[in-house]
């Protein structure tokens, strides 16, 4: 999940190595599931309140994980001797290829009347195709810039 949870769950007691990136999950996420009939029975103002509360909880949780994971990683390394390593590119490519095989198997096997799984996979892949160019220009470029060797120091 990330250093914050991994430290709290004591994974360092059974895993000496900490591999990244978690290509399958870039960070924490929350999910809210509501019965569709119950949802439709709510007036629009209550639906808006539920949406706002869910968005606030997600933002709050993401901020907490972001703030706590740096110190947690430092504790894992300095106090518990965890060794951080990067997954080799060929391993990441192999994981991606296997993920693609699984998606194709699920996609081909969706025989449900409304083909919801097929639609989810197709929508996910279309979104992924659309968003990757931006993440390379925005997020990846920002992260690459963070790695440059400059320091901020108060005088």
| pLDDT tens readout for residues 83-134 | 999 999 999 999 999 999 998 888 888 777 668 888 888 999 999 999 999 9
Question: Which residues are paired to 125 by β-bridges?
Answer: none
Rounded Cα distance between 100 and 72, Å, is 33
Is residue 153 pLDDT above 90, yes or no?
no
Is residue 140 pLDDT above 80, yes or no?
yes
Instruction: Reduce the DSSP state of residue 136 to 3 states and report it.
Output: helix
What letter would DSSP give residue 27? S
The pLDDT assigned to 134 comes to 93
Sequence-separated (6 or more) residues with CB below 8 Å from residue 112: none
Q: How far is CA 97 from CA 63, 91, 100, in A?
A: 32, 10, 5
pTM of the model: 0.74
For the chain, the first-to-last Cα distance in angstroms comes to 38
Comparing CA positions, the residue from 30, 32, 28, 12 lying closest to residue 65 is: 28
């Amino acid at each position: 999940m990330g250093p914050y949870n991994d430290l709290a769950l004591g994974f360092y007691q059974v895993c000496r190595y900490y591999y990244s990136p978690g290509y399958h999950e870039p960070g924490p996420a929350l999910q809210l599931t509501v019965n569709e009939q119950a949802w439709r029975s709510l007036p629009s103002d209550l639906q808006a309140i539920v949406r706002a509360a869910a968005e606030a909880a997600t933002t709050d949780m993401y901020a907490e994980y972001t703030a706590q994971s740096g110190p947690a990683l430092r504790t894992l390394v300095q106090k518990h001797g965890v060794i951080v390593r990067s997954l080799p590119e060929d391993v990441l490519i192999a994981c991606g290829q296997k993920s693609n095989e699984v998606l194709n198997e699920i996609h081909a096997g969706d025989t449900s009347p409304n083909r919801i799984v097929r639609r989810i996979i197709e929508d996910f892949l279309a979104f992924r195709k659309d968003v990757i160019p931006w993440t390379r220009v925005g997020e990846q470029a920002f992260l690459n810039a963070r790695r440059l060797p400059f320091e901020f120091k108060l005088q």
